[in-house]
Chain A
Amino acid sequence: DIQMTQSPSSLSASVGDRVTITCRASQSISSSLNWYQQKPGKAPKLLIYAASSLQSGVPSRFSGSGSGTDFTLTISSLQPEDFATYYCQHIYRTPLTFGGGTKVEIK
């Protein structure tokens, strides 16, 4: 099975900060990677698919990059509504797996 290692597990940041979250796959997954945002009590929300494609309706301050085994989610200027937990997920083949999550908290 492909393991997804996400880092950091949590971070504190201020409004306006640039935030970077990384996700590493245990083997190459090409660009078969999604990023999600989840707020407490809510379903995950798709932000980025195919590693770098911005989902419709998602603000352009979110971007994704990478291929193979190393991926990055960047929030260019953190907004109050961005404080949440973020997950990566590979969809290369079953079983699909998620990263452990990154909780973005207010500094």
Chain B
Amino acid sequence: EVQLVESGGGLVQPGGSLKLSCAASGFTFSGSAIHWVRQASGKGLEWVGRIRSKANNYATAYAASVEGKFTISRDDSKNTAYLQMNSLKTEDTAVYYCTRHEVGVPFDYWGQGTLVTVSS
């Protein structure tokens, strides 16, 4: 069974940092791109960024709103992707989801989400 499980969310002060994890199982993690999507309370979905597979040179891409602040990485030996978030602002408060992008059927599985709250 395909599973994606996010962890690492919590309360952080403005200007602080947090690292989220996305643990995958049930599929060939190393062959998939992983995307991060966030959703502020009561708002719509916002694509955050993605990391491609080793075959695609682990290429990353980010939304303009997080470029230079957030970094996506992965450890294929641990079947885990990460979202390092620095210089956090209150507007980064959201539920953060990870999802996979497989050739043919993108974004078919999502994690349950992890809540990040940026507040003093």
Which residues of A line the B interface, CB within 8 A? 1, 34, 36, 38, 43-46, 49, 55, 87, 89, 91, 94-101
Distance of A71 from chain B, by nearest CB (Å): 16
Contacts of A46 in B (CB 8 A): 105, 107-108
Contact, CB under 8 Å: A94 / B105: no
Q: Please give 13 more A-B residue pairs, beta carbons under 8 A apart, in addition to A34-B107, A49-B106, A55-B105.
A: A43-B97, A43-B110, A44-B37, A44-B107, A46-B105, A46-B107, A55-B108, A89-B107, A91-B101, A95-B47, A95-B61, A96-B35, A96-B47
Contact, CB under 8 Å: B110 / A44: yes
Distance of A2 from chain B, by nearest CB (Å): 11
Contacts of A43 in B (CB 8 A): 97, 110-113
Known: A49-B106, A100-B44. A95 touches B64 (CB 8 A): yes
CA A38 – CA B45 in complex, angstroms? 10
For residue B46, CB closer than 8 A to chain A, the reply is yes
User: In which size bucket is the chain B interface?
Assistant: 20 to 34
Residue of A nearest to B42 (CB): A40
Distance of A31 from chain B, by nearest CB (Å): 12
Contacts of B112 in A (CB 8 A): 43
A-B contact count (CB 8 A): 53
Contacts of A38 in B (CB 8 A): 45
Contacts of B44 in A (CB 8 A): 87, 98-101
CA A91 – CA B61 in complex, angstroms? 13
Contacts of B62 in A (CB 8 A): 95
Contact, CB under 8 Å: B108 / A98: no
For residue B74, CB closer than 8 A to chain A, the reply is no
CA A49 – CA B103 in complex, angstroms? 12
Contact, CB under 8 Å: B45 / A98: yes
